[in-house]
Amino acid sequence: MILTVTLNTALDITYRVRALRPHASHRVSEVTERPGGKGLNVARVLAALGHEVTVTGFAGGATGREVRERLIGTPGIADALVPVSGATRRTIAVVDEDAGDTTQLNEPGPAVTPAEWHAFQEAYGELLAGARAVALCGSLPPGVPVNAYAGLIRTARAAGVPVLLDTSGEPLRRGVAARPDLIKPNAEELAELTGSHEPLRAAQDARRRGARSVVASLGADGLLATTPEGRWRAAPPARVRGNPAGAGDSAVAGLLSGLVEALPWPDRLARATALSAATVLAPVAGEFDRAAYRELLGRVAVTAEATAA
- Residues known to be catalytic: 249
| Cα three-residue angle 196-198-199, rounded to 5 degrees | 100
Contact 58, 8 (CB under 8 A): yes
Instruction: Indicate the helix (H) or strand (E) that contains 279.
Output: helix 265-280
Burial track 243-279 (b if 16+ CB lie within 10 A, e otherwise): bbbbbbbbbbbbbbbbbeeebebbbbbbbbbbbbbbb
Q: Cβ contacts of residue 164 below 8 Å, gap of 6+?
A: 133, 134, 135, 136, 180, 181, 182, 183, 184, 252, 255, 256, 259
Between CA 31 and CA 309 the distance in angstroms is 50
Inter-CA distances, 178 with 118, 119, 155, Å: 20, 22, 10
DSSP symbol at 11: E
Q: How many helices (H) and strands (E) does the chain have?
A: 10, 15
Between CA 150 and CA 172 the distance in angstroms is 8
Between CA 47 and CA 76 the distance in angstroms is 5
SS3 category, 246: coil
Burial class for 31, CB neighbours closer than 10 Å (0-12, 13-18, 19+) = exposed
